[in-house]
């Protein structure tokens, strides 16, 4: 995805079958993805997801960084994680998130 034209990563929400919830499978997937993003030198990851799940990985409301989706969602559900550099919002792109056409939004 992009934030006002600057590249960013979008993490799709993670889901597991009910019988596998609570086993750490989702946590392992998210950690592996974030580790891979860090290894690639990515700066920021965005996620539209459950506000009680993603903060455990360091995600914070994207609006606090001046980042917003181009559609209506609860503020606490659109989150961002800064991977490299300062957590200072002045160092990050600000503006509207745009997704590739395949996302349908």
Q: What is the pLDDT of residues 4-46, one digit of tens each?
A: 999 999 998 788 999 999 999 999 999 999 999 999 989 999 9
Query: Domain range for residue 35?
Result: 2-103
Write down the pTM of the prediction: 0.89
Q: How many structural domains comprise the chain?
A: 1
Residue 71's CATH number: 3.40.630.30
Cα dist. 23→11, 28, 52, 54 in Å? 20, 10, 17, 16
- State the pairing for strand pair 95-98/67-69: parallel
What is the DSSP-derived secondary structure letter of residue 11?
A: E
Mean pLDDT in residue range 68-95 = 85
pLDDT of residue 59: 97
Can you tell me the distance from the alpha carbon of 105 to that of 90, in angstroms, rounded to the nearest whole number?
Answer: 27
């Amino acid at each position: 995805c992009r934030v006002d034209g600057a590249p960013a990563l979008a993490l799709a929400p993670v889901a597991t079958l009910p019988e596998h919830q609570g086993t750490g499978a989702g946590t392992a997937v998210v950690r592996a993805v974030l580790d891979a993003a860090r290894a690639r030198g990515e700066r920021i990851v965005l996620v539209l997801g459950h506000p009680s799940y993603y903060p455990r990985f360091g995600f914070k409301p994207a609006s606090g960084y001046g980042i917003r989706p181009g559609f209506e969602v609860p503020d606490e559900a659109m989150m961002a994680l800064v991977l490299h550099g300062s957590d200072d919002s002045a160092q990050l792109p600000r503006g509207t998130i745009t997704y590739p056409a395949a996302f349908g939004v």
